[in-house]
């Protein structure tokens, strides 16, 4: 833990934006260095310009690869593009537009020439491809749209990110991203400067550019998602902190459009993020699930002896695909706790038009409290590997009504049971907290306390353990038979999983369960560590025992 975690950023913590932009344009990657190549994780390619991992060369190559990929897939409609507030996002979008226009792609950019949240891009793709019509979403055929979101999510200000969303509107699957990354690296190696481009000022004035009002389209459609009348009638006071992210202008528009008592806590957008408090490691990071990054909002809501200024306060990360919920009585909610509360509320009668057989989507590293709530509701709980992409088919055909990740990302169906977005949506999760308070008279943290009374308290944490590249590769390819342990923290092991039970896809690691606890181990894609997620329904001490024994179980399996 950094000694200044949770304290305001100081001038020496801030990135030099001019130097950052210089690095984007002036530095070139060494394609023989694995850390400087194009690598797509669960949320696109991310990297830092100073580290030669996110530079003009990368974006030219990735965009050119996307052009080839979409042609190969027969995707010949428009491409919707949006960016967040990171310093590298605007130059990267400009580079992408230059390549796309030169390739003859029709590009839909923000009508305000401003920031665009990830869910607004997903919504635009789905609407173009038929969402809300009698035909439903088309994922094949002529005229289909796809999209790019330029964002590294909650990463520090020095980083950039580039995500591709195919015609289904959600994160691209590994088949797509592996092809795009491989082709991009080939272009980097063979000479990225040979990729045709149109200078930006000419490109943006081209007839191939269309201005799309992402903000109005998104804000207007929210009436299909949230019971605003209940929120207004209850007089819920909302404090929405965009954390300097892409939703900064959207929150004011939402409050005005629906007549809410809503205050935009911090309307400032500055790519240095000087208004943030430092995260656990002393870095500026827009992680709305972190009590350190959210410290100023939490302090404002829970100051001892003072009345809270809002009934519900919320935060979002830089591209607004994640949510943080702060209540006067509970502080910042654990993401797993709020996922369970949302599920209990939505499936417990709040959305009567949803299909009666719509299941609950959870990642295998999310809390088992979700499974217990689902069992009581009589709903299937569909457990999938890490990555929101696994929820996309179910959200489109409404075989799942809600998909959520332990990292505070979720989306769910419209009130009428049709698809909303197939990427994570922070604002709807934040707004639902106010609806829950308005309809039930209880805050989400109070609702969670009721679930604890019903199902028992749980302790959940994630820790990292050192691992070499070779050990990480071995962990990703484990089979259940390689796990010889019979007990975990005093209880018999009930399952050893290397494939997710909800869709039989490889989890890229290992999950071990007992009646009272579980752990999952997955290799990091960016560091020489593996991540251990664990939960105990016994005690904090029991969780620590599970974590310690998890390392032993994994070490034994890696040793063969």
pLDDT digits (tens, 9 = 90+) for 466-510: 888 888 899 999 899 988 899 999 999 999 999 999 999 999 999
List Cβ neighbours of 241 (8 Å cut-off, separation of 6 or more).
Answer: 264, 265, 266, 294, 297, 313, 314, 315, 316
Cα 18 to Cα 86: distance, rounded to the nearest angstrom: 13
CB 343 within 8 A of CB 404: yes
Take residue 151 and report the two structure tokens written for it: 């964002």
Over the chain (560 residues), the average pLDDT of each successive run of 10 is 96 98 98 93 88 98 98 97 98 98 98 98 98 88 96 96 97 95 97 97 98 98 98 98 97 98 96 97 95 95 83 98 96 96 98 98 97 98 96 97 96 98 98 98 98 96 87 90 92 96 94 96 80 96 96 86
What SS3 state is found at 175?
Answer: helix
Phi/psi for 263 (5° steps) reads -110, 130
Q: What's the CA angle centered on 238, arms 425 and 240, to 5 degrees? A: 50
Closest CA to 320 of 291, 271, 287, 298: 287
Strand 79-83 relative to strand 107-110: parallel, antiparallel, unpaired?
parallel
Which pLDDT belongs to residue 526?
A: 63
Take residue 447 and report the two structure tokens written for it: 């609702």
Cα 60 to Cα 340: distance, rounded to the nearest angstrom: 42
What SS3 state is found at 392?
Answer: helix
Cα 309 to Cα 238: distance, rounded to the nearest angstrom: 9
- Please name each of the domains of the chain with its CATH number: 15-217 (3.40.120.10), 459-559 (3.30.310.50)
| Inter-CA distances, 46 with 9, 31, 240, Å | 23, 16, 27
DSSP state of 99: H
Closest CA to 320 of 82, 160, 46, 9: 82
Options 43, 122, 153, 367, the catalytic residue: 153
Please count the residues of the chain: 560
Active site residue 290: no
Which pLDDT belongs to residue 58?
A: 98
Take residue 197 and report the two structure tokens written for it: 């481009």
Question: How high does pLDDT run on average in the chain?
Answer: 95
pTM: 0.96
């Amino acid at each position: 833990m950094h000694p200044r975690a949770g304290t305001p950023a100081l001038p020496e913590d801030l990135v030099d934006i001019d130097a950052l932009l210089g690095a984007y344009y002036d530095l070139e990657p060494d394609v023989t260095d694995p850390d400087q190549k194009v690598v797509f994780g669960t949320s696109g390619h991310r990297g830092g310009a100073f580290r030669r991992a996110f530079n003009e060369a990368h974006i030219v190559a990735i965009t050119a690869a996307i052009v080839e990929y979409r042609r190969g897939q027969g995707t010949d409609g428009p491409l919707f593009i949006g960016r967040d507030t990171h310093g590298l996002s605007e130059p990267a979008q400009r580079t992408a537009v230059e390549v796309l226009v030169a390739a003859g792609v029709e590009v839909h950019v923000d009508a305000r020439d401003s920031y665009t949240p990830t869910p607004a891009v997903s919504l635009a793709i789905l609407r173009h491809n038929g969402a809300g019509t009698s035909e439903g979403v088309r994922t094949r055929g002529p005229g289909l749209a796809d999209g790019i979101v330029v964002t590294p999510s909650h990463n520090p200000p020095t980083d950039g990110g580039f995500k591709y969303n195919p015609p289904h509107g959600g994160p691209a699957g590994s088949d797509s991203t592996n092809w795009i990354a491989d082709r991009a690296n080939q272009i980097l190696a063979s000479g990225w400067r040979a990729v045709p481009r149109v200078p930006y000022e000419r490109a943006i004035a081209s007839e191939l550019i269309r201005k799309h009002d992402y903000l109005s389209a998104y804000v207007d459609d929210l009436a299909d998602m949230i019971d605003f009348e209940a929120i207004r009638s209850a007089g819920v006071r909302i404090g929405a902190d965009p954390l300097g992210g892409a939703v900064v202008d959207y929150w004011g528009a939402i409050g005005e459009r629906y007549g809410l008592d809503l205050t935009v806590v911090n309307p400032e957008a500055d790519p240095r993020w000087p208004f943030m408090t430092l995260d656990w490691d002393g870095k500026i990071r827009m992680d709305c699930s972190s009590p350190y990054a959210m410290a100023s909002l939490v302090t404002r809501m829970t100051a001892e002896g003072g009345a809270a200024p809002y009934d519900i306060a919320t935060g979002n990360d830089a591209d607004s695909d994640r949510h943080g919920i702060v209540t006067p009585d509970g502080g910042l909610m654990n993401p797993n706790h709020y996922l369970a509360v949302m599920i209990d509320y939505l499936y417990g009668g709040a959305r009567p038009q949803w299909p009666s057989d719509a299941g609950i989507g959870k990642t295998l590293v999310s809390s088992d409290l979700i499974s217990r709530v689902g069992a009581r509701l009589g709903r299937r709980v569909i457990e999938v590997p890490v990555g929101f992409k696994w929820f996309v088919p179910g959200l489109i055909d409404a075989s799942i009504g809600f998909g959520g990740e332990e990292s505070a990302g979720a989306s769910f169906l419209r009130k009428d049971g049709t698809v909303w977005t197939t990427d994570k949506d922070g604002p709807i999760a934040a707004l639902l907290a106010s609806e829950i308070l308005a309809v039930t008279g209880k805050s989400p943290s109070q609702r969670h306390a009721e679930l604890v009374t019903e199902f028992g308290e749980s302790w959940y944490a994630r820790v990292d353990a050192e691992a070499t590249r070779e050990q990480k590769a071995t962990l990703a390819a484990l089979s259940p038979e390689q796990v010889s342990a019979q007990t975990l923290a005093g209880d018999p092991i009930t399952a050893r999983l290397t494939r997710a039970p909800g869709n039989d896809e490889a989890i890229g690691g290992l999950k071990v369960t007992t009646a009272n606890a579980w752990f999952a181990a997955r290799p990091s894609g960016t560091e020489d560590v593996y991540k251990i997620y664990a939960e105990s329904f016994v005690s904090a001490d029991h969780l620590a025992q599970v974590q310690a024994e998890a390392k032993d179980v994994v070490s034994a399996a890696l040793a063969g």
